[in-house]
Chains A and B, each alone.
Chain A
């Protein structure tokens, strides 16, 4: 329990710090600023992974709960959704395919084979 409360306190404080920076002129959203601060703090060892692991796990596991209220708002959007259904779905499918295939092909081209894969190939 203490672990969880300490972790949540750390994560919320970092979020508030990110929001503060955003309110004072940094154009990136507060949550993402917080993510970068947090990442930096773990890289430099200022924060230990084990202090926050449980709290972060809880937030990530139940993230769906957190976007239920916004999604319920779709009930007021039947009009625009049905008028724009084609544009929305086409944009979704085109962009999904573009991201998936460019990323996959770029990664195949740019990444060296994994050490394990290389060993298997050498053995053959």
Chain B
């Protein structure tokens, strides 16, 4: 029964729904962590390997593709609201994407990490579905990328606006562009209660940073082949 894909999907959806409920009550609980722990516990309990679970899991993972496509909607809608600032924001976010990839990969390389870990670090600033694609294309380990992406999001949501304030960045679109580029959706969600313009700039920057990172990632993949 456990080997049936329906079982994995049912278990995953149930754990996700439970995690959402907990998150609704206690905001600080990260949905992804609370959703994964019971699944891992069940698999360990019944001695099933991850590969068996993932036969059904894969069917959910596939939908990350359409979810990436769906990012065009906030990008388009928020792009309209940013109007004349858009070309400059595009340049800024492009530089952000390059800085993120270079510093993440470069630091791991300087610390002597193996090749697959370095490559997993490269796309760590961008939204999960795009980060996974870029990681796979480069030959990294998607799970390491996911863990880093989530942590980058939490860092930005927790300390982002404070750190920007320290260096004198207050302007709404500048804050949004910085948080969206560094901390994707998790950072963006934390701005919703602060300012509408910050949220708009952040959602746009998150999608744009994903696009630029995958363009640069394709270039890098070709280069290191």
Chain A residues near B (Cβ < 8 Å): 8, 11-12, 14-15, 18-19, 27-32, 34-36, 38-39, 42-43, 49, 52-53, 55-57, 59-60, 62-77, 80-81, 84, 86-108, 110-114, 117
Distance (whole angstroms) from the CB of A16 to the closest CB of chain B: 9
A95 to B179: give the CA distance in the assembly, Å.
13
A67 to B54: give the CA distance in the assembly, Å.
12
With A70-B142, A104-B174 already in contact, the answer to whether A55 and B121 are too (CB < 8 A) is no
Q: Which of chain B's residues have a CB closer than 8 A to the CB of A43?
A: 76
B22 within 8 A of A: no
Distance (whole angstroms) from the CB of B148 to the closest CB of chain A: 5
With A35-B207, A111-B174 already in contact, the answer to whether A102 and B95 are too (CB < 8 A) is yes
A90 to B68: give the CA distance in the assembly, Å.
28
Say whether B172 contacts A71, CB under 8 Å. no
Q: Which of chain A's residues have a CB closer than 8 A to the CB of B191?
A: none
Say whether B95 contacts A106, CB under 8 Å. yes
B111 within 8 A of A: yes
Interface centre among B73, B128, B207 (most CB of A within 10 A): B73
Say whether A87 contacts B113, CB under 8 Å. yes
A15 to B63: give the CA distance in the assembly, Å.
10
Kindly list 16 other residue pairs between chains A and B, CB separation below 8 angstroms, not including A68-B32, A96-B155: A11-B66, A15-B69, A27-B218, A28-B218, A29-B68, A52-B73, A68-B15, A73-B142, A74-B36, A80-B117, A88-B148, A92-B148, A95-B121, A96-B125, A99-B125, A100-B179
